[in-house]
Each structure stands twice: as structure tokens, then as C-alpha cells.
Structure 1
Amino acid sequence: MSDAAVLSIDAEAIADRVEAFVREVVVPYEKDPRIAVHGHGPPEDLVVELRAKARAAGVLTPHILPGGAHLTQRDTAKVLIRSGLSPLGPVAVNTMAPDEGNMYLLGKVGSAEQKTRFLDPLVRGEARSAFFMTEPAAEGGAGSDPSMMRTTCEMDGNHWVINGRKAFITGAQGARVGIVMAKSQDGACMFLVDLPDPAIRIERVLDTIDSSMPGGHAIIAIENLRVPADQMLGASGEGFQYAQVRLSPARLSHCMRWLGACIRANEIATAYACTRQAFGKLLVDHEGVGFMLADNLIDLRQCEQMIDWCAGILDGGSLGTAESSMAKVAVSEALMRVADRCVQVMGGTGVSGDTIVEQVFREIRAFRIYDGPTEVHKWSLAKKVKRDFLKAKAA
């Protein structure tokens, strides 16, 4: 993918087409019985079916244009927010995690050969991917602190041999492309691998509160995985550098998609409050309910503005590490309030599976942890506050 951007007016048109597709084609699939019996995200046959329809409608991987040009982050937000209007939307149009972040990373740092072999099938929606970084906490491995990585890689002839265990690996079950992080004597490294591979064994898929991502989240054992040297991204020891390239945009993309989900949940809660009678009048006319919906409008708009601000920072060429931390905290916490109010407004219906409101609540609760818990981001920002103060004082 190049850094070329398209005009915002084109992005608006793309976003409009994505929204129409999600609302008209994807939303009816939310009641598909295949989802009800599948505990770890939408099953593969449903993913293939949805993507075939997205391909036919011309909205598959809409943030990457023919020729490889990637929308700016601000324009990506317009598209990804609309894709998130259904929990199945990102799956259908190929803007979901971790694929969206992996495509961005490969487009930025992959070689021409690596892009042809690993990136192109992802962009075409023919394959899913997984990002193998997080490790089991009980073993002292890398979680929110990637410097604790215990998975190792060593050279053996013209191959690297990787050993270790990974945890919470989203989409590993059913993925065809993997990006594996391991530590050499030079530091962190990243490798591209074809999946499945017998040396990468899924020990179990976790039962988690969220359920929107195909393949769920798995515990992985990596035992003597042999990877050709030309499948390393960059050079040995550059893994954290490349992780930074992926980190902020992927973190912000989560904010975009889940903002879309909460917009839809708020639409459902609003419709409920404006049609349901209680104690002689519509629910919305009761101040306690009306004020909750008013607060939702405020939080949703603030999320939109926070995403746009951070996207502008990234579009300006900055890594946006601190800014994306701020956005992730602000948006995830605000969306949690929105989702919670939607459930409360709808009462018993809000905690049932009759609408997606209950699922959105669960997904947002997980989002407050995924891509770094709120407290970790605040800790990092507090360190920056101190660092900036001492630097200014010494100047």
C-alpha cells in the first residue's frame, strides 16, 4: 500500500456505500442461527458468505483502493465507523481486527515479495490473519508490557527456529497468515508465516465475554517453528519498531468500529424509548430516560471528535503513541457509558438477545482491556507528563 490518499468526497461516497450494505445486507444476518450455536465468533462459512456479498457489492476492503492506495486515517474513520454499525459489519467488509491492522503493517513495511504472498490474499478477503504477540500471564510473558516477551527465535542455517507460547491470539483458529513476534539476541523480531502449521498448535480457544471476531481468542504453543530468513519483517531486533507502526492506527481503528456499534445501539435504544409507554407516557418523556439518551449524544459526539483529532495527528506523520493512548482511553470509557445506558433504557429487553444492544455492551467491556487496559494507558501518559515536565524544567 502506498501513502497516497484520496479526496474526502470519495471517502464519503465509499462510507455511504458501506453503510447501505451493512444496514441492508449484513444486519439481517445478526439473527442467523449459525451464530447462536457458535461460541467463538462467526463461523467460517458465514464469513465466506458475507464477504462474497460484500465483494459483489463493491465494498470489500473499502479502505484500501485498487492499486493499493490507503485512505488517510481521517477518511478511514468515516468508512470504519459505518462498517461497525453491525458487529458483523467489519467481518463482512474486511475491516475487522486483527486483519485491518495486519494489512496496514504489511503495506507499510513488507517487501514486494511479502506483500504478494501474504498481504494480497488478505486485501482480497480470501484469508484471515492473526498477530502472535501476547503471552500467558501465568508464565511471566508479554502482555501490556511487550518487553517481557519470552518467545525466542534462533538462527539455524537459513531459517529461524521459534519456540514459546502465546495467549489471547485473536482469529488464530482458521487464519491463513500469521505475524509472529519473538525475541532474538538482538531484540524483538517479527516473522510472516503460513497457517496452519503443525509447529503452531492451538491448545484451546478461550471462552470470552465478546463474540464478534471469527476464531475467537486462543492459547497457542509454538514448538520448533522453522521460518525462512526472508520471511522476517525487516531485520533482527527491529520488531518493536514495526510494532509501533501498527500500534496507533490499529488502536484507533478499534475506536472507529466500536463507535459505529454504539451509534447503532443508541438508535435501537432511542427507538425503544420513543415507542414504549410506561406510567402514562413514552419512556423518553421520563426525565431519567431522556437524560440518558441526551448523555449518549454528548458522549458519541465527543468520541467522534477524539477519533478525528487523533487521526489528524497520524495523518501528519507522527506515530501518535500518546495521542492514540488518550483516544483509546477516552473513547472506550465513553462508549462503555453509552452501551450501559442503552441497556438500562431498554430494561429487560436490553439484557436479552432480541437486539444487538446486549452484545455491543459485552464487546465494549472487552474493548476497555483489548489493545491495552485503560489503566496501562493512563500510567504511560503519567510517565509522559513527568518526562515532559523534567525536560521543560531543564531547558
Structure 2
Amino acid sequence: MPSISIFHGNFVHSKEIGTTVADVLGYELVYDQDLITKASERFNIAANKITRAVYEKPSAFDSFTHEKARCVAYLKSVMASDLARENVVYYGFLGHLIPESVSHVLKVCLIADRKARLEVAQATGLSEKEAQKAILRHDESCAYWTDHLFHKEPWDASLYDIIIPTDKKERAECVDIIVKSVNNEILRSTEKSRQAVADFVLAAKVELALAKSGHSMKVTADQGDVTIVIEKNVIMLSRLEDELKQIASEVEGVKAVYTKVGPNFYRNDVYRRYDFETPTKVLLVDDEREFVETLSERMLMRDMGSHVVYDGKEALDFVQEEEPEVMVLDLRMPGVDGYEVLRRIKKEHPRVEVIILTGHGSEADRAKCMEMGAFAYLEKPVNIDKLAETLKAAKAKYAQS
């Protein structure tokens, strides 16, 4: 029997519909979290990190770390293995990982207009403002996910076999539509669709091998022939192609490897392989804009990823949303100064290593900062090589904590 994937907005009775469909058909209901837990255990990565990669916007450092793509590669590997089974309802975002070529999976989208969703949300006890916020947050998560995978809006009809407006139909009718659709002859498992699953398994293995080597690439497979799609501009394309082919060719089951440039190859940003030892999640905090932007560019030339903020409050707000590995912090800033930022960071985010970089310090300042938990104290103008070595040492300490 075919399997089913159900993608949905929130407050559309999707869970009740999905559960009933599984009960009527005698299918197993698999939630995103089930697959995330499997990926966490199989690849020894924190489940909350994978969860963030699925539901939240890409990290400010993602162009360097490829963290979202690595987590997606882990999930593809788990999903590819799971597809060997049938009679499953995949409920949530991860059904989108199943390739279109796997034709024995019915792809369903459950959605309703905003007014109807607000009414359902408020019926649960939320205020109108809380309901609007919850709907917006969920829809943003949907958009981040489908943009990453397809560069499409989450409700794009091309992503689904059927879209059901739950505000226009009773729940029983929604269930009936799905149950009748899954029994359509066109969704029967065939030799071709089973081969598509085998191709997906192989492509997932290659993506995983590339991810473990620091590369973020989309891969397709066709009976042992693998194609790697390069989506971003790269300075030395032929060298990258040789490296990718070498990695992919070592994966069991690969007969031949091909590369091609994708539609986004000519974007302005330049592709960089992720170096697991080089600092790539560095937050630079300094109110001297010209200085800190130049510093960020100099770090970029050494393949060190950074994000820049211009005052202490911005720094504290940023860290609440996303934790860097290392912070490079000026002391003298208007408003919230470097001392207060250092105190708050070491109290609330003790793993983050803080390097003080100041042009107006003293030995007393140095002693105070080190006592407060700073990793190092440097003075402007800083030698970029010295800063780079200090950043690497700080990242190594972060990784051990």
C-alpha cells in the first residue's frame, strides 16, 4: 500500500485528520520528532540542533557552517531508510524530503484561510494577538523550510498531490478524500517507484559523505549514477568538482559521478567548504563601524565566518537568538558597555568564549576582564594572524565544553 505525507498549517485540525487517516487505514503514524530522534541517535548530534535546522530560519553563520544542510543530510539518510517500509503516514515537515520520483507516496497539504485559523486558535484559549503571533511563527517556519529545499512558497500546489482546505470541508470529509486518494491505482508501488527509493537511499548516502567532509550539495542518483549539483559560485570550479567526485566515488553503490552547475550558480555569494577547525561562528561587537567591518572582511579572506553588531544591546539580543562560538568584544561602547556584555554572557551563556579587543584599555582592564572570564585580552591595532590563532584556540575550548 502507498504511504502518505501530510504537511499542514497550524490550527487546521491537521493532527486529528492525520490520526484518523492512520487509524482508518491501519497505518503507522510517524511524526517529525520520531525521525529527528533517530537522526540524533544515529549521528550523535543533539536533537534540538536538528529541530532548529528544520523549523527555524538559517543561522547568520550558515553560509560558512552549512549546519542546516548537514542536518537535512542526516534527516534524508533516516527518511531514505524508513521509506523501505510502506503503510506509513508521515506527519509534519519531513515528508518534503521524499523525492517526487517516489510516486507511491501521496503528498497532502492541509490548510485554511487566516480567519478560520484565528477562530480555531482563539477557541483554544489564545487571545487574538497570541493567535496571530502563533500563526505567523508557524507560517514563517514553513516558508524557511520549503525555501531551503525548493526555493518555493510552502503552499505551492506543485509540491503536493492534493491540497485540502479544512475550513471548507468537515473533518470526516477531509479524511475520506485522503483515504480514497491513497487507494488510487496510480499510487501503487511499482518496480520504478521502488527503484526511486533505492536511488534516494544512494543520493542520501552521498550527501551525507559530502556533509561530513564539509560540503553542502544537492545530489540525485539513477541506478548507481550520481549527479552532484553545485548551486553557488566557486572560485576554482574544476578543483571543487574533482574533490566532490573523489568523495562520492568512495560511497558504496556509486558507479559513476557527474557534476553540474545549478540555477543558482551565478549568485554573488561564493561557496566555501566548511572547515570543522576554523572559527566560523564569530560575533564581532564594536561601535567603530569601519574598523569592525574591515576586520570582518579580513577574517573572510581567511575563511573565518563572522557576524557584526555595533553595540552591546545588539550583541545580547543576538546571543539570545543564536549562540556564537566566540565573541570578539570592544570594551568602550555607548549604552551597554563591554564589561556588562562580558558579565551577562559568562553568566547566561558560559560556553561562549569572549575575546576582548580594545584600543583604550589598561593593565587594570586586562586583569578585570580575565577575572570575569574572558578567554583573551587583545589590543588594537591587532595583528590578524595573532587574532586568528586566538580565535582557533577559543573555538577549540568551546568545542570541549
Q: Could you state the TM-score of these two structures normalised by the residue count of structure 1?
A: 0.24
Q: Which has the higher helix share?
A: 1
Name which one, 1 or 2, has greater alpha-carbon Rg.
Answer: 2
Q: Could you state the TM-score of these two structures normalised by the residue count of structure 2?
A: 0.24
